[in-house]
Amino acid sequence: MIHLSETLRLFHINRVLLRHGLDEVVLATHLLRPLRFLTYLSPWYWLRRERAPYPVRIRCVLEDLGPIFVKFGQILSTRRDLLPDDLAIELAKLQDRVPPFPGRIARTMIEKAWGQPIENVLDAFDETPLASASIAQVHTARLKDGREVVVKVLRPGIERVIRRDVRLLYTIAGLAQRYWKDGRRLRPVDVIREYEKTIYDELDMQREAANASLLRRNFLNSEKLYVPEVYWDLTRGDVLVMERIFGTPVSDVPALKAQGVSMQLLGERGVEIFFTQVFRDNFFHADMHPGNIFVEPSGRYIAIDFGIVGTLSTEDQRYLAENLLAFFKRDYRRVAELHVESGWVPRHTRVEEFESAIRTVSEPIFEKPLAEISFGHFLVRLFQVARRFDMEIQPQLVLLEKTLLNIEGLGRQLYPQLDLWTTAKPFMERWMNEQVGPKAFLAHMRRNFGPVSERLPDLPLLTFNVLDRLTHERMAIQWRSEELTRLRQEVQAGHARAKANAAASALFVSGTLLLVFGPGELLSPVAAQALAGLCLVAAAALFAWRTRSAQAG
């Protein structure tokens, strides 16, 4: 049941759709579809001015509906396996243009989280926000020991707003799945479920702090990436305190060139950082858009905003590495087999058909120079093809695809000649070598030695328990075997008695008929009487045997 507040919000959404000329969306709903013909009777339908392209109007609607819908559009733009290319590209332009909330409110929320006045903890706090987004806003501050920090605080009441709009999105998705012709194929309810998990994860500042700490540990003392320090003693569920960083936004190419930073080095380092996170650390920053990346004068990257991260299982890593290696070898059959082996497409999928579909998508890519081949777009096309074969899209791979597209776009913006394959291939080959062969075998042995050695003293007792259980099970099996043998013998004896009964009955009837109706033309009277006697004696013998057999059973 839809609440009153959701009903009002739904009317507001319809009004925004109409204002941006998306009346076809409103009139395509189940309830209003019968009234669609009325639009053709309206003079405004024929006299309205030329409208912007459909994807542009969708983007404007999401921007007008507020930050939660903007966030949803940003996440939806990564689902290129579901959306047309022009719509996905347009949604990727969505920006968080949210007015800041008053600094005094931020101060009050921080003091409540810390349980004491800000002056007891900070030497300075700037109430004018450094940045403001849909979920939180950031203020600069200085600790008592002089260290510069940033304080990230959740927007007041944001959780209530998110809950209301997520419920509404579920309602809209449910209607779409029920009445939209592509609803079942695109599964909008599942898309909203993914969005719900992502948006609620971003509400937990301690979770973001944990992500930042792990990424910092993975790249400690690295010359390629710097991750700011988290101040855990000041971090709470709705407040995050981190080291303040200073750098040039990665999108400010003229400023970077003026500092003498090599664009080729930046482009290649971005790819190296991404594949290091994926294949070495199995933990990657999944929100690497230009607004979250800065550069030091030395050319070292600085990352911020760790609300969205991704991880891959060993199977996922193997899938990615083998797929890309097979792709560049044009071994499309292996790509198809990998999908079936991983269980992401049904086992009954015909590999030959799947291979043919992948070849159709992949071959045109190789008409381009190697430096122009896009890994990200290859994964997008691969997912789109696999979708036709009922592939279950994995959320972690969607994050990977989105991040790879961001890294590729950024790398080629900085250095258009960037050869992604040359940069990425060593990472994948090194990872594959680490997973197979003698080194991998010894590494697995070392990893498993600890748990195995802990259980070695228990081995005699475990062996005794297994043998004891086997003995009892063998006795039970033997008993069941004897029972089955006896039952089989009884069935066989029953069959024999039934046959004897049938034969005795037939002999008795034959003997009786010979005695009653005589010999006929074929037998003499003496022969007929003798044969009748034999039949009756044989019938009596069979009846007697059947009776004794039944009594013995």
According to DSSP, the residues that pair with 132 across neighbouring strands are 137
137 is in an annotated binding site: yes
DSSP 80: T
The helix/strand/coil state of 390 is coil
Taking the CA atoms of 467, 468, 473 and 479 in sequence, report the sign of the dihedral they define: positive
CB–CB of 107/118 below 8 Å? yes
Q: Which residues pair with 302 in a beta bridge?
A: 226, 294
Chain centroid to Cα 223, Å, comes to: 33
From 23, 81, 238, 287, active-site residue: 287
Alpha-carbon Rg for the chain in angstroms: 38
Answer yes or no: is 173 a known binding residue: no
Rounded CA separation 118/153 (Å): 14
Q: Is 133 annotated as a binding residue?
A: yes
> Over the range 457-470, which residues count as b (16 or more CB within 10 Å of their CB) and which as e?
eeeeeeeeeeeeee
The pair of structure tokens assigned to 203 is 């509400």
Tell which residue, 365, 366, 372, 367, has the closest CA to residue 417. 372
Question: Regarding beta strands 225-226 and 301-303, do their DSSP bridges make them parallel or antiparallel, or are they unpaired?
Answer: parallel
Check the annotation: does 5 bind a ligand: no
What is the rounded CA–CA span in Å between residue 188 and residue 194? 10
User: What is the Cα–Cα distance from 265 to 292, expressed in whole angstroms?
Assistant: 19
Q: What is the DSSP letter of 521?
A: T
**362 assigned binding-site residue:** no
DSSP structure string for 268-290? HHHHHHHHIIIIIIS-EES---G
Q: Is 86 a catalytic residue?
A: no
Q: Quote the CA–CA distance of 301 and 266 in Å, as a whole number.
A: 8
Q: Give the type of residue at 39.
A: T
132 is in an annotated binding site: yes
Which residues, in sequence order, are CB contacts of 336 under 8 Å at separation 6+? 351, 354, 355, 358
The reply to whether 214 sits in an annotated binding site is no
Q: What is the DSSP letter of 259?
A: T
**Beta carbons within 10 angstroms of residue 353's beta carbon:** 12
Tokens 């050695």 sit on residue: 453
| Measured distance CA(336)–CA(389) in Å, rounded | 11
Rounded to 5 degrees, φ, ψ at 49 are: -75, 170
Place of tokens 């510069």: 148
Is 257 annotated to bind ligand?
no
Classify residue 151 by its DSSP letter.
E
402 marked ligand binding residue: no
Which residues contact residue 548 at a Cβ distance below 8 angstroms, ignoring those fewer than 6 apart? none
Side-chain half-sphere exposure of 300, counting CA atoms within 13 A: 15
231 closest CA partner among 112, 142, 301, 109: 142
162 annotated to a ligand binding site: no
| Binding-site residue ranges | 130-138, 152
- Give the catalytic positions in this structure: 287
Q: What are the binding residues for ATP?
A: 130-138, 152
